[in-house]
Each structure stands twice: as C-alpha cells, then as structure tokens.
C-alpha cells in the first residue's frame, strides 16, 4: 500500500498528490498525519484509502465506489452526496454525516452530531445506509426521503440524544435501539416496534457493520424501535398543489 505523508501540507496539496496517485493507477493508499485536510477521496470510484489522523470537512464527498477507512475521528459532512462505496469511521463524526447521500454505506463506531442523514434518498437499486454505534444529536434523518439509518447506542443510556427526530421525513426508515418518546419526534412521524420483516432487511447491513468494526453482532429486533412517516405524503396539506 502506498503511503502519503500529509503532515504540514495544505489540503489542496494533499488532494493533488492523492489524485495524481489515482491517475497513475494506484488504488490503495494510506494517508498519515492527516490534520483537518478537506475533501479527501472526493469522487473516487474504486480502491481503498486508509486515513491516520482526523480528516476535515466533506470526507468522501461524491464518493462513487471506493472504500475509505478512518482510524480516528472525522469532522463535518462525511459522505456528502456520495452515491456508492463505503466510509468507515472508527471514532466519532460530527454534523451532517451523509448529507444528501444517494447510495453506499457510512459506518461510524462512535457518536455523531446534528442533522445526520439530512436529505438522504434512495432511487431504484440505490439504497443508502448509515449505521451509528453511539448516539446522535438533533434533527436525525431530517427531510429523509429514503434509505436506512440505524442507531445502536452502544455503551449509552440514550441512543438518540437530540430533539426533532425525523423532522420533515417522508421516506425511508430509522431504527433506534431502545424506546423513543413521542415528544422527541418531528411532526407527522410515528414510532413502532421493529417487525421481523424490517429486521430481515436490516440484519445484513448490521452484520457487515459489526465485521468491519470488530463488534459482536448480538442484537435482537425486540431491542429496536422503527421510526417512519405516518403516511406516504405526510406534509401534503401544507402545499398549494
């Protein structure tokens, strides 16, 4: 695997060096000494990138098939508008993880910030998945139109430590380990016990998450609550058409 030392380098220089390696046909790269450099892995369609350090905003933006593994924490906008591939964060990630994600998977071992999964959507065979090992903040799944978010709340008393869950959501599903009080939900949203059919859909993604992060996959559908819109068009009455 090719090693690229990022210490002391501006984010533009790191991206230029990284993309030059990709043009040369190198598809496995380790970035060492990363400290806030932005846009790493933008648009990559294949290969593996391992990051040692803390990448800056918009890690893996427009990702289209490559795998990125972060051996630490990540900042805002992980997987911004990605359409395929996988991002694995072994620590925490901050706000708007999976902003407008259209496909692929984002696995976070720790906690995440606000507005995770905002505007995420699915279309035909494109089905985005976000799995969070810790807790999430306010506005989880805001304006969500498709795909799947799972919050495990490992080593946490509350899996979702935020308000307005699924505010504006009109598609997709959110599964949370534990019970969710109605007062934490956005308008037009319901929470129910997870069904066996929903669990069959979720468990392959959950098993993959556990393999990637070395976590025992000892979960039961009885532990989970499913959050989804009340109807297929829950906000239709507020529009003029």
Residue ranges of the domains in the chain?
95-238
User: How confident is the model at residue 222, as a pLDDT?
Assistant: 93
User: How confident is the model at residue 188, as a pLDDT?
Assistant: 86
DSSP 42: T
Whole-angstrom Cα distance, residue 46 to residue 64?
7
| Local structure of 13: helix, strand or coil | helix
- Is the pLDDT assigned to residue 241 strictly greater than 90? no
Question: ∠142-79-45 over CA atoms, to 5°?
Answer: 140
Nearest C-alpha neighbor of 87 from the set 50, 119, 36: 50
Exposure class string for 2-33: b at 16+ Cβ within 10 A, else e: eebebeebebeebbeebeebbeeeeeebbbee
- Is the pLDDT assigned to residue 232 strictly greater than 80? no
pLDDT in tens, 8-37: 999 999 999 999 999 999 999 999 999 999
Instruction: Read off the tokens for 7.
Output: 């210490």
User: How confident is the model at residue 125, as a pLDDT?
Assistant: 87
Q: How confident is the model at residue 161 (pLDDT cuts 50, 70, 90)?
A: low
Determine the average pLDDT of the residues in 51-70.
97
User: How confident is the model at residue 107, as a pLDDT?
Assistant: 98
User: How confident is the model at residue 181, as a pLDDT?
Assistant: 81
User: How confident is the model at residue 237, as a pLDDT?
Assistant: 63
Let me know if domain 95-238 sits in CATH 3.40.50.2000.
no
Look-up: residue for tokens 């969500």? 144
Question: ∠86-46-35 over CA atoms, to 5°?
Answer: 65
User: How confident is the model at residue 207, as a pLDDT?
Assistant: 97
User: What does each C-alpha distance from 6 to 12, 29, 33, 169 come to in angstroms?
Assistant: 11, 12, 5, 39
Q: How confident is the model at residue 227 (pLDDT cuts 50, 70, 90)?
A: very high
């Amino acid at each position: 695997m090719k090693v690229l030392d990022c210490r002391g380098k501006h984010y533009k220089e790191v991206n230029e060096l990284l993309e030059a390696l990709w043009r040369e046909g190198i598809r496995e790269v380790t970035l060492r000494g990363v400290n806030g450099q932005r846009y790493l892995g933008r648009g990559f369609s294949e290969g593996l990138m391992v990051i040692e350090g803390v990448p800056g905003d918009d890690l893996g933006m427009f990702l289209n098939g490559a795998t990125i593994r972060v051996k630490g924490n990540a900042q805002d906008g992980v997987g911004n508008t990605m359409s395929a591939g996988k991002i694995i964060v072994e620590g925490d990630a901050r706000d708007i993880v999976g902003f407008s994600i259209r496909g692929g998977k984002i696995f976070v071992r720790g906690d995440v910030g606000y507005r995770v999964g905002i505007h995420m959507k699915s279309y035909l065979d494109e089905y985005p998945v976000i799995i969070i090992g810790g807790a999430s903040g306010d506005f989880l799944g805001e304006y969500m139109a498709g795909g799947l978010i799972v919050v495990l709340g490992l080593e946490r008393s509350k899996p979702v430590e935020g308000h307005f869950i699924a505010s504006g959501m009109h598609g997709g599903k959110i599964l949370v380990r534990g019970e969710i009080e109605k007062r934490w939900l956005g308008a037009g949203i319901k929470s129910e016990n997870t069904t066996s059919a929903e669990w069959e859909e979720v468990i392959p993604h959950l098993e993959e998450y556990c393999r990637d992060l070395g976590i025992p996959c000892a979960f039961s559908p009885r532990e989970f609550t499913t959050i989804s819109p009340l109807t297929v068009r829950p906000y239709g009455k507020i529009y003029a058409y």
